[in-house]
């Protein structure tokens, strides 16, 4: 089939209610070699850094929202996040697998005092819910998942 024209509106993300969160701003539409980002992990969030090799930047930036949601899902299931950050920070780096990506994640303790507001259609008042910080800073070296 023919590719959609570049100016066509993207189809809405069916899985991530926060995908069109206006509070994200436009600064995260393009990721560079190291990009700071809040990783939403269920009912909490972690400070994150997405690290991309030069040859992977175009791949990531082709669909930033989808890649980020994929990364968040992959990281959220990692058992290290269930232990206290000061213990988790001692853990070796871990590789997590998403649908289209894999990431090597380094865990560090770095609590942030503020709450993150995310758009949530089910939240009722104001349409936002608050995520507290889980105490982690996660450095994620992300690459496309190998086809094997």
Quick one: what percent of the chain has pLDDT higher than 70? Answer: 78
Give me the chain's average pLDDT, please.
Answer: 83
For residues 59, 62, 67 and 69, what is the CA-based torsion angle, rounded to 10 degrees? 180
Average pLDDT, stretch 53-60? 97
Q: Structure tokens of 125?
A: 């008042």
3-state secondary structure at position 126: helix
Q: What is the pLDDT of residues 66-76, one digit of tens each?
A: 999 999 999 99
Distance CA 53, CA 66 (A): 18
Q: What is the pLDDT of residues 86-116, one digit of tens each?
A: 998 899 999 999 999 999 999 999 888 788 8
Whole-model pTM: value is 0.75
């Amino acid at each position: 089939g023919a590719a959609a024209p570049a100016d066509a509106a993207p189809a809405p993300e069916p899985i991530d209610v926060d995908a069109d969160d206006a509070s994200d701003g436009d600064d995260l539409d393009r990721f560079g070699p190291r990009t700071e980002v809040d990783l939403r992990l269920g009912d909490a969030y972690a400070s994150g850094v997405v690290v991309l090799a030069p040859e992977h930047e175009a791949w990531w930036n082709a669909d930033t929202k989808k890649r980020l949601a994929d990364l968040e899902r992959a990281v959220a299931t990692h058992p290290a996040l269930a232990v206290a950050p000061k213990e988790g920070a001692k853990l070796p780096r871990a590789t997590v697998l998403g649908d289209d990506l894999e990431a090597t994640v380094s865990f560090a303790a770095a609590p942030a005092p503020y709450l993150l507001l995310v758009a949530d259609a089910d939240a009722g008042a104001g349409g936002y819910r608050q995520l507290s910080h889980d105490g982690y800073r996660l450095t994620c070296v992300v690459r496309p998942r190998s086809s094997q």
